[in-house]
Chains A and B, each alone.
Chain A
Amino acid sequence: MSRQELLSPEGLRVDGRRVNELRRILCRASVLNTADGSAYFEQGNTKVLVAVYGPREPHTRAAGNSGERALVNVEFNVAPFSTSERRKRSKGDKRVLEIASFVRQTFEGAIQRAVYPRSQIDIYVHLLQHDGGTLETCINAATLALVDAGIAMDDYVCACTAGFVDDSPLLDLNAVEESSIATPALTVAMLPRTGNIALLQMESRLPAAKLEDVMEVAVEGCKHIHAKLDEAVLAAAGDLAAKLSH
């Protein structure tokens, strides 16, 4: 069986994008009225809904938490209808727990947790439709929801993936590109103001010399996403400010 052609001779990808092109991004803050903050984020066909509750009274006193900083709790849920094959994932699915833990670690660094002592911030992430780049979409959506909840953060956290196919780095992989065994996928989450990296994750092999090229592409993608997120936040904030000033 031959490997599927991921990059045509004309330099186009399976979904018609060029190598350094992001998928279409659509995002909106404040989509739920019962949550403190919420966001809907669409990157191509990957769709994520995030609800943030808190800072609120912690449910359990976690061991080793002195209470000087807020706890961040992330739950990730994959809808059974999110993939073409209907499948119910259990709560204890290792893959699901892993993504939740990545999101938690990313935001533990970005949220100013010392501002909210003795409290807990709950982030509920729902993957509604899956088409690759789950982690990046979850992080981007969670950022938007946290900003919407008015939680103090050092900066936005913007995430983006990049892969490496036929000697050229590819930006923002979709499910077809991601599932191909030969494609290494690198997920980068960064704080755009300082350029600090909050998360760097890759599970396959990539020639060390190429890492820098792939990172550079991913970081460019993060900057684009930052602009999109900022736009959505300003739109939501401007809307509320206009209503309040009446």
Chain B
Amino acid sequence: MMDIDTEPVAADVAARIVTPGSAITSDPAFMRGHGTFGEGATIYSSVAGVVERINKLVSVRSLKQRYSGEIGDIIVGRITEVAAKRWRVDVNSRQDGVLLLSSINLPGGIQRRKSESDELQMRSFFAEGDLVFAEVQSYFADGALSLHTRSIQYGKLRNGTFVAVFPQLVPRSRTHFHTLPCGVDIVLGVNGYIWVSKHVSAAKVEANAEHIYSDCNEPISDAEREAIARVANCVQLLNRLYVKITETSVIFAYEESLGHAAKDLLSQDVAAELAHSVMARLKQQAS
């Protein structure tokens, strides 16, 4: 039985860790939240994680788990299936998300109802394996996420590389699309899917509105390729360190990594050395 009335302090996180089947409280005044279950008046934990209390609601936040969507989340997903008037999208969640044909933009930003001919050429918009940058619009009755790409910045992802990280490492923030100082664009999907790509200016994107569903990459120079690979490896490294992945932490990791070749970043000794300096930078910034 643990005392959950104490106010949460960052330092005593370790003291609030519970494991499956351990009793949290038997005070009937509390309500059961996520990660808990009740038997009689006692509340037990069903996962290994940290106990959190909001007023009378007790929940356990698991330290590692799949993404659970919230409306308004900006995510990256991969098309797994083209179905009737919809695409199924792998969003790293417990079931695939759905992107309805009616919730995408047409090439050129034409505003009209989707016709039968659109339905027949759905693969020309998104085919299996394509990556999409989308926003969570709503839930379906069965809990699946409904996505939309009705904005010029959302849509198909090109010109880059994909990295998957722990979803809990990507915090929700105002923007999830960043242009790093090294000339690389990065999309930090809240679901733990990250897209690192060549920088394309917003003006150019708008000028190319006709070709938003093109499958062709733009020409990418060797220097750009290396920068993309370096950023992707930095993200991978932050994931291993279990550090929050934000614009700042990625920039820190990038800057610290410049002394090494991009391909060596994930090798054991270089990674260990970088881990040290990146953590130091992050601590310094926090204080």
Contact = CB atoms under 8 A, between A and B. Distances in A.
Interface stretch (B106-114, B121-129, B175-183, B236-244): B236-244
A70 B168 CA distance: 22
A233 B49 CA distance: 10
Top 5 A-B residue pairs of the complex, sorted by shortest distance between their CB atoms = A150-B65, A155-B21, A150-B62, A152-B46, A55-B94
Interface in A135-179: 147-156
Contact of B19 (A112, A118, A152, A234): A234
B20 A57 contact: no
Interface in A217-246: 230, 233-234, 236-238, 240-246
Chain A, interface size category, equals: 35 or more
B10 A245 contact: yes
B21 A241 contact: no
A40 interface: no
A241 B95 contact: no
Interface of A: 30, 33, 36-37, 54-57, 67, 70, 112, 115-119, 147-156, 191-193, 230, 233-234, 236-238, 240-246
Contacts of A55: 66, 94-95
A148 B283 CA distance: 28
Contacts, number: 116
Among B17, B66, B90, B244, find the residue whose CB has the most chain A CB atoms closer than 10 A: B66
Interface residues of B, number: 40
Interface of B: 10, 13-14, 17, 19-21, 35, 37, 44, 46-50, 62-66, 80, 88, 90, 94-96, 142-144, 168, 239-244, 279, 282-283, 286
A117 B139 CA distance: 14
21 contacts: A57-B80, A67-B142, A116-B94, A118-B94, A118-B143, A148-B48, A149-B64, A150-B48, A150-B63, A153-B20, A153-B46, A154-B21, A155-B21, A191-B21, A193-B44, A238-B17, A240-B64, A241-B17, A242-B13, A245-B13, A246-B282
B48 A147 contact: yes
Contacts of B21: 153-156, 191-193
Given A56-B95, A118-B143, A243-B242, A237 B63 contact: yes
A36 B242 contact: no
Contacts of B240: 33
A153 to B, nearest CB: 5
Given A117-B142, A155-B21, A193-B21, A56 B94 contact: yes
Given A56-B94, A112-B46, A152 B35 contact: yes
A233 B14 contact: no
A158 to B, nearest CB: 11
A53 B237 CA distance: 22
Contacts of A243: 241-243
A115 B34 CA distance: 10
B66 A56 contact: yes
A36 B17 contact: no
Contact of B48 (A193, A237, A246): A237
A154 B46 contact: yes
